[in-house]
Amino acid sequence: MKPVSTNFPRITGVRTESVHLEEPFADMAARFAHEPGAVVLLSGGDLDCARYHILGIHPWLSLTGWPGETTVVIDGTTHVASQAPLDCLETVLACCRLNLGDTVGPVAAGLFGYLSYDLKDGLEILPRTTLDDLGLPQLCFFAPSLIVVHDKASGATEVHAPVRQGQERNVVSAAIEDFKHALRSPPLPSGEFSGTGQSLTSNFTRSDFTSSVKRIKEYIAAGDVYQVNMSQRFEMGFEGNSYSLFKALYQMNPAPFFAYVNAGDHQIVSTSPERFLLRNGSRIETRPIKGTRPRGKTPEEDREMKSALAHSPKDDAELSMIVDLLRNDIGKVCAGGSVVVAQHKRLEAYQNVYHLVSVVEGTLAERKDSVDLIRATFPGGSITGCPKIRSMEIIDELETLRRHVYTGSIGYISFHDTMDLSVAIRTATIIGNRLVFSVGGGIVYDSDPEDEYEETLHKGQTLMSVLTQSRDKPANGTASGIWVWQDGRLIRQEQATVAVSDLGLQYGFGFFETIRVEKGHACRLRAHLNRFNRTWSALFGGVPPDLTWKAIVAQVIEKNSLGDAPVALKILATRGDESRTRYRGSLLVTARPYTHRLTALGATGLKLATYPHRRMSPLADHKTLNYLYYHQAAAWAREKGADEAVVRNPDGTFSETNSASILVVSGKTVTRPRSSHVLPGVMQAAVCRRLRAMGFSIEDRPIGSDAVLDADTVLLTNALMGAVPALSLDNRHLKCDNSLAASLNSNLFNPTEVGGGLR
């Protein structure tokens, strides 16, 4: 594959024209916000950092990056680079660089989008123990063909069109004329939006969050850190127009760094008040925020809140700490002696809150660029903690889900040495029919866990109130509104649990019945229960539970308010632990609205195809939760007085045992059983590497019982026991070389030998 840089057309200039807007900028931008790649940056309020409204549309290039791989799409042609996202970003900026001097405003050509917080993993050596449940890129930028900039101070609006090498000039002119024509067309009607479901859910309960705050305080007491930013993530269903949500939030509480990014398969809605990085030529600026108070309901109360924030020792200490951190970060790429705190503890008034803000400035060193600045400072210290690296380690330990764009950055990076990025707080991501947003705060030694939890709810209240409308806020921030029946009681879905020792979790040892319910009536309930009971007796043994299932079904339907709609109801049983004295599993009943398959597909029937796998299940290629087949084989082996059961293929050849891979050693040849579907053994591969080093040759071919019986040694391997010789097969003695197994196992579990670190 050719280097990505060879595919970039150079930018030769920018064509700029003035336009007159007959409507507010946010309404004008609504005409284009539905288009993938559209980015809207609105500056609310009258602070000195809130001067420009900016719109980028019709991207000719997109840049999306994951660890170790970045995808670049240029005029519809896709290029995949085996580069880290920031490396590829630097390549794009270098190839498209323009020298415009001071002839334009903040941005006339460049990239618009976001940097996810998770880019930190490419900048520092950090643990990765949180779950990436969104699967979105760590970096997402678009290069617009048209950039509209409105100067709130002068009232002037300009549209900029980058001119690319080899591009016909009339193409650029036509793009600008098409934009002007769109402005003359009737305005688009405002789209509706709403949160769906009963209420918001959180990845933390109140008690879990407060326990995490207490853990952070223990780290502070131990001297690990001074402060850590802890957050919780909320989620609810969403339907409708995401840009309409953006506009509604802007009208409620305009802040300097409102941003809307339509990334195609997801949208970002950000209402941030905080600037992360500003670059204008060599001038660098960052504006950390630490310290927040709500606005008072009366003038006197408002003055009291303002004074309390201005004179708070705790907020002063936090802000000073973060200012020092950011001075150090930008100092890595700034000229010596140029970094100064231009303003400290500036009190800024917003519609709903007061903030304490500092302004730190510096001069970018020669031969340093925007990506160098990002690498030196990302993610911002105000939303990680101090010291930054240890704080990020603790965040990863205590938070359960990856933050993605939350506490990352949103804005633009121009091709002509300007940049403005916000800190992505008060930011929501809409993906599919889900909306997620996180809220956090800085934890210090004297933080009160309950107060910190309440502060997260307070900070997120603006977005919560828009989404939930007249609904109450969630109790403890966790209630989903979905109810299930488990083991005799109705509980909320998030309270339902299955023990770690339950074989239903460990091996998929369980079963279920799915029943359609119409207007509260469970269709063919008796037939379903007869089959349920037959399966119970066959797999679990003993007497099936004596329950009035009809009454239980009615309770679940009523509790979930599903009486009138078609419902998919599931009765599920898990085995529990290995106890033979009594049943210790879980019984659950769940219900959800049901839409018929043909209705969902918009079709009159289903298309069928013949599945080619006729041998072992293709699931044997992977370690799925459904290990019931192997569990039953092991139980059978124990009944026969054996330790392991040999699994055979339909043609009678051997595959593996119920818990181990097989290696057959004859002379200096080692044979791995070849089967259509078998789990590739990690330990088996490690043992084979050692055998090769000892002079053995390795081959893959089908084997049967004769090959095992004639072998010099049969080895069983798995990740726990290493390599263990087999002693007999079906009560027939096997030859055994114990010294070979001992040699193979030497240092086999030594971390220094096998890369056994935690990363």
SS3 of 373-409? HHHHHCCCHHHCEECHHHHHHHHHHHCCECCCCCCCE
Q: Of how many residues is the chain composed?
A: 759
Token couple for 118? 């998770």
Q: Is the whole model's pTM more than 0.75, yes or no?
A: no
Q: Which of 247, 290, 388, 459 is catalytic?
A: 290
Supply the pLDDT for residue 132.
86
* Catalytic annotation present for 399: no
Task: Give the pLDDT confidence score for residue 2 in this predicted structure.
Answer: 44
DSSP one-letter string for 491-552: EEGGG----TT-HHHHH--EEEEEEEEETTEETTHHHHHHHHHHHHHHHT-SPPP---HHHH
Q: How confident is the model at residue 535 (pLDDT cuts 50, 70, 90)?
A: confident
Is the pLDDT score of 603 beyond 70? no
Q: Is residue 14 within 8 Å of 108, Cβ to Cβ?
A: yes
Query: Could you tell me what percent of the chain has a pLDDT over 90?
Result: 49
Please check whether residue 361 is in contact with residue 92, taking contact to mean a CB–CB distance below 8 angstroms: no
CA 230/CA 217 separation, integer angstroms: 11
- The confidence score (pLDDT) of residue 428 equals 96
> 80-89, 712-721, 736-745 — which one is most confidently predicted on average?
80-89
One DSSP character per residue, 259-275 reads EEEE-SSEEEEEEE--E
Mean pLDDT for 487-511 is 84
User: Among 230-239, 586-595, 678-687, where is mean pLDDT lowest?
Assistant: 678-687
Burial class of residue 495 in the structure, from the number of CB atoms within 10 Å of its CB (0-12 exposed, 13-18 middle, 19+ buried): middle
Cis peptide before 387 (omega within 30 of 0): yes
pLDDT-wise least confident of 421-435, 519-533, 600-614: 600-614
CA distance 287 to 277: 8
CA distance linking residue 726 with residue 723, whole number of Å: 10
Q: Which listed residue (90, 235, 274, 361) is catalytic?
A: 274
Neighbours of 699 (CB within 10 A): 10
Question: What average pLDDT does range 347-357 have in this prediction?
Answer: 85
Residues 75, 79, 84, 85: what is their CA dihedral angle, to the nearest 10 degrees? 20
Whole-angstrom distance, CA of residue 162 vs CA of residue 175:
11
Q: Give the whole-angstrom CA distance, residue 221 versus residue 536.
A: 54
Give the start-end residues of each E strand in 654-725.
Answer: 654-657, 661-666, 669-673, 697-701, 713-718, 722-725
Block residue for tokens 């085995």 = 575
Contact criterion met (CB below 8 Å) for 160 and 425: no
| Token digits of residue 280 | 């204008």
User: Domains of the chain (ranges plus CATH)?
Assistant: 4-282+364-468 (3.60.120.10), 483-601 (3.30.470.10), 624-754 (3.20.10.10)
Query: Which residue from 136, 68, 118, 135 is spatially nearest to 395, judged by alpha carbons?
Result: 118
- Asked about 361 being catalytic, the answer comes back as no
**How distant is the alpha carbon of residue 197 from its chain centre?**
21
Q: What is the mean pLDDT of residues 338-352?
A: 90
Distance CA 392, CA 523 (A): 53
- Among 26-30, 42-46, 174-178, 459-463, whose mean pLDDT is lowest? 459-463
Q: Which residues face 361 on adjacent strands?
A: 285, 340
Q: What's the pLDDT band for 606 if we cut at 50, 70, 90?
A: low
Overall average pLDDT of the 331-347 stretch: 95
Express each pLDDT in 501-529 by its tens digit.
888 888 788 888 888 888 888 888 888 88
pLDDT digits (tens, 9 = 90+) for 114-169: 999 999 999 998 888 887 888 899 999 999 999 999 999 999 999 999 999 888 77
Q: What is the pLDDT of residue 584?
A: 74
Distance CA 680, CA 621 (A): 7
> What's the whole-number mean pLDDT along residues 572-595?
80
Residue carrying the six token digits 């309409």? 244
What would the mean pLDDT of 5-33 be, rounded to a whole number?
A: 88
- Nearest residue to 7 (alpha-carbon basis) of 88, 67, 110: 88
For residue 468, the Cα-to-chain-centroid distance in whole angstroms is 23
- CA–CA separation, 434 and 239 (whole Å): 8
Contact 321, 387 (CB under 8 A): no
Residue 573 is given by DSSP the state E
Q: Residue 654's pLDDT is what? A: 86
CA-to-CA distance for 665 and 675, rounded, in angstroms? Answer: 18
pLDDT above 90: residue 753:
no
* Paired tokens of 286: 């960052």
Q: Is the Cβ–Cβ distance between 548 and 529 less than 8 Å?
A: no
> 621 falls in which pLDDT band (50, 70, 90)?
low
300 or 472, which is more confident?
300
Residue 589 main-chain phi, psi, to 5 deg: -130, 125
Cα–Cα distance between 448 and 216 in angstroms, integer? 11
One-letter amino acid of 229: N
Question: Using CA atoms, how far apart are residues 435 and 196, in angstroms rounded to an integer?
Answer: 10
Buried b (16+ CB within 10 A) or exposed e, 86-104: bbbbbbbbebbebebeeeb
The model's confidence at residue 102, banded by pLDDT at 50, 70 and 90, is: low
Gap between the Cα atoms of 71 and 62, Å rounded:
8
Helix (H, G, I), strand (E, B) or coil at 443: strand
CA–CA dist 462, 456 (Å, integer): 11
Which tokens hold the place of 620? 């044997």
The CB density around residue 526, as the number of other CB atoms within 10 Å, is 10
Q: Which two tokens stand for residue 643?
A: 């330790």
Pairing of strands 193-202, 427-431: unpaired
- The rounded percent of the chain whose pLDDT value lies above 70 is 91
CA dist 509 to 505, 586, 648, 731, Å?
7, 11, 21, 29
* Nearest in space to 51 (alpha carbons), one of 383, 240, 384, 278: 278
Question: Alpha-carbon dihedral of residues 208, 117, 348, 459, nearest 10 degrees?
Answer: -30
User: Could you tell me which of 377, 359, 386 has the C-alpha nearest to residue 443?
Assistant: 386
